[in-house]
Amino acid sequence: PSPLDLVVIPGDGIGPELVDSALQVLARVAALDGFEYRLTTVDAGATAYRRTGRALPDGALERLRAADGVLKGPVGLPDVRHPDGTEAGLLGGLLRTGLDTFANVRPMRLLPGVTGATRHGPGEIDYVVVRENTEGLYLSRGAGAATPHAASDQLMVTRVGTERVVRYAFELARGRMGAAADGARRVTCVDKSNVLRSYALFRRVFDEVARDYPDIGTEHLYADAAAHELVARPQTFDVLVMENFLGDILSDLGAATVGGLGMCGSLNAGTDAAYAEPVHGSAPDIAGRGLANPVSQILSLALLLDHAGRTSAGDRVRGAVESALSRGDFELGERGQPVRGTQSVTAAVCENLRPG
């Protein structure tokens, strides 16, 4: 087989440190699993914007689309802004719309060895947030109306856009072993259909799609109640599907229950392209000091390997993170930061990648 064609976007802030860590893990797992890969680096994000006036270089989308997968570090710097006040160095809109990666898959798992920031036990939390990734409130990006006195954005939900992401969530639930504590396979629809028409359409389409999946249970929660339940009873969830903006917020909330943002990777998946990135941002407050938790980027790599058909490699990477953590080969502090720094985690994960 030809080598896996991977594109790497190191990103801003802690991005380059995390991507470097994930690439060490990739080198090791590829050797163990017996596959070859080729890396191309694309410079994109806020630093690139500051240097060139563009967050994403010309021709990059075509290159990304042609690749087997893209591993992206977090991008964005709070002081790189457009005149309207929004950030200029972000790639979310350009990549998610440009590559039509309509499903943002954000697994939330509480791993053995994570103790500080949670009152739940290992294995108790294991669900996936499927965030609609191309419309909802984010369709307003760069549109909307703004004067110095008032500004508005529009939340747009379409039948086509909802149907494909809901179907993705049901297929994902079918493929899972019923990870919720009661063993059930279930998709939870999260919305505010009690108040807003856009969310009412989202729920209606959800119910229509659900009829094609009689083997999968369903549940509806309003987003405010969902926020409560995700903290109070996270063990009851399996797969959740929701509009873009709700998914953005509730996935950071979920991260707080599984050891912090540094534990959460994600995959932006479409029909023709995919890219993996941490759920969190570029963490300028700790950038360049070797303090960040690279597990988010390493678990993103695992999702990318799954997507590229290398599921045994993906499983190996997840297994190595788990065994390193549970053996105490690296330790996380109260807020999920590695006690002995980024490289201590990378080394421990690589060390736990063993033949067999």
The catalytic residue positions are: 138, 192, 224, 248, 252
Burial 316-353 (b: 16+ CB within 10 A, else e): bbbebbbbbbeeebbbbeeebbbeebbbbbbbbbbebb
297: helix, strand or coil: helix
292 neighbors 298 (Cβ within 8 angstroms): no
Residue 296 lies near ligand NAD (rule: CB under 6 A)? yes
Sole binder of ligand IPM in the list 44, 90, 166, 304 (CB under 6 A) = 90
Q: Is 214 helix (H, G, I), strand (E, B) or coil?
A: coil
In the complex with ligand NAD, the residue whose CB is nearer, 185 or 307, is: 307
Pick the stretch among 32-40, 74-82, 134-142, 155-163 that binds ligand NAD (CB under 6 A): 74-82
240 binds ligand NAD (CB under 6 A): no
Q: By CB under 6 A, is residue 17 in contact with ligand NAD?
A: no
Q: Does 73 bind ligand IPM (CB under 6 A)?
A: no
> What are φ and ψ of residue 211, in 5° steps?
-60, -25
Gap between the Cα atoms of 116 and 170, Å rounded: 33
Q: DSSP 3-state assignment of 194?
A: coil
Q: 180 or 250: whose CB is closer to ligand IPM?
A: 250
Does residue 107 belong to the site contacting ligand IPM (CB under 6 A)?
Answer: no
Helix (H) or strand (E) holding 70: strand 69-72
By CB under 6 A, residue 76 contacts ligand IPM: yes
* By the rule CB under 6 A, 89 interacts with ligand IPM: no
Q: Which two tokens stand for residue 80?
A: 């790189």
Binding to ligand IPM in span 251-310, by CB under 6 A: 281
Which residues of this protein are in contact with ligand NAD, per CB under 6 A?
Answer: 74-78, 87, 90, 261-262, 277, 280-286, 292-293, 296, 336-337
Which residues of this protein are in contact with ligand IPM, per CB under 6 A?
Answer: 76, 90, 92, 248, 281
